Structure 1
């Protein structure tokens, strides 16, 4: 139905500072230029068939129901590689999928996860782009929370020698989302002014870096003041261009804050609003879109439930948020010459040609940029708590599961 369709939008990380625990380590945040992966190969180790592997499984509805199981894998298909997974990237879409609020969620029991990195341990007879022993990262339509995965080789890319597996798992889904929304849909041009919500999250940081590299002016929002310094350090934005949303509690104040930020860049309104938030900020954001502007919507992070399983009051709260959601009038949009565009990148997964083209363009665009910011790293065995940490909205950069080598 339309309620669940709205909630099915892929919601990306909102900012915050990481906290350490016995099962969570702080990953390196050192910023270095992003090199292209080395093409030099030593002698490949012998391939091996992985008949069974360990994966997190559940039937959508309750994060606490996630259970590690030994599942059948088998040999790679002709166009596939078998990857021994060393890191899994977490996304807000994973949280929504586990709760049953994501329209693309498989029926019945499934393995969550959309991003991974690891080592190729076997390949199909038609695969030429990857060899056994190669370090790779990639995207998948579910199945990422697993110690091994069989995946079409077109969805994998070489992982640079000086990138960690955690950094590799932090890159593909969020960088593609930012690039597709800003460049492909938003049609960004040099000198334009862009508003990015949740700019301290993984997708937000990539969106900001892409905009700045292409010569745009960038304003971002974060959920708390503690995240501003991270945005400044990772993107070279100035602190005055990072809006702390917690300081604005009325619709009028929110709208005024956005318009004031645009005017500091010499424009009345924004050319692009990159919106993974929605909620109370949607109407103010849409009002801040200028003539010929594009309001690109990719998620509803403000509507993320904070419980493992939705109870009566969770549904009531979601229902109220749904009824109060921002509305736009197409006739009014015509007279104002602005648009709303929404996308869910998972529906493009079958378009392998498009995925390949976007990866190729990203290789060129992100070369020389800082490496992905890995915020929190959890052990593979602690996946439920990693999802709880992500949904809190208190993270910056990417939340990642680290998987120990199995061979």
Structure 2
């Protein structure tokens, strides 16, 4: 059985690296903070998850992100490329269900066709190349390009912080001790359905539901130790018959109806191509179209816009952000005085979002993520832990200095006396 990899002296060749300082990205702050729900800390400082139908382990030091991509071994053991059937369509494909796509119209039943990457719009190709960079031979993106795109390493967080601190004194104070927070650039399909699962849920519960969704309808990629990893389901699987009933049995509650309902609506509008095409539409238009889908409200639409559709000025507003706005920004407090977060009206939601967009500028969504992260319980616990470790380290360094000083004083005292000469007398 394969095992989760842990960085060590004997495994240096198993890791590839990308230059990135901790001030630009902290994995322990960004990955578990409620953007993506498929990363888990499998060893101290090591995060394992699924990205682009590949299983990764990420870790970091002060100046680099280190990553390992596991070879996906099919259950039949025939090699890395597995011939299998996609979903319920019985269309054989190589390498899983990523190359299949469902077409629908109102007059006929859904049918599958083989997805042709060259048939994508030229605008989308230009956008993908802008964000990802050059492709390797054969049209497949390399691991480094995938990870750089996912982590959006082309955006300099330190420059953003400098800009925000000039505009917002409160954010300036928070940003001084919250560093390395970034917005991930996620797959629009996975991001959309993950946040449908997030409705009225906490972080641990959302993670549980998303993993159950993948286990029930995704493709098993591999197993590491006692943990199995799955691809995210394709639209056809999510739109299939019996999905709602199965999800209710898995504890999805009222969200069970939204998953197949939304999948069918996305398919009817053009499927994956339509969803990816929203990256080229203006923010407000993309947000409006998402809000018309089953199970998608204003906050879910903003999450997808920010974390998957390149709308950096989208500002998702949930209970945490509402409380921040009421507590720390008088202009928002004046419009929502005495109101509970549950009474957030569409008009108030729009006002708060526009207020932050005007205050913070084109990367308002990234600024909001800094304030949001600072409010999370697990982040506060992390800061307290680092403070304790820092005090312990400083105390250890002080003790070491005292001991070194004592040793130096002892050596200095010894030098004051000549070595004792041994006198030997012979008995006669």
Do the structures match in fold with TM over 0.5?
Answer: no
Q: Which has the higher strand share?
A: 1
The structure whose Rg is larger is 2
Q: Which has the higher helix share?
A: 2
Greater RCO, 1 or 2 (C-alpha within 8 Å, sep 6+) = 1
TM (norm. structure 1) is 0.29
TM (norm. structure 2) is 0.28
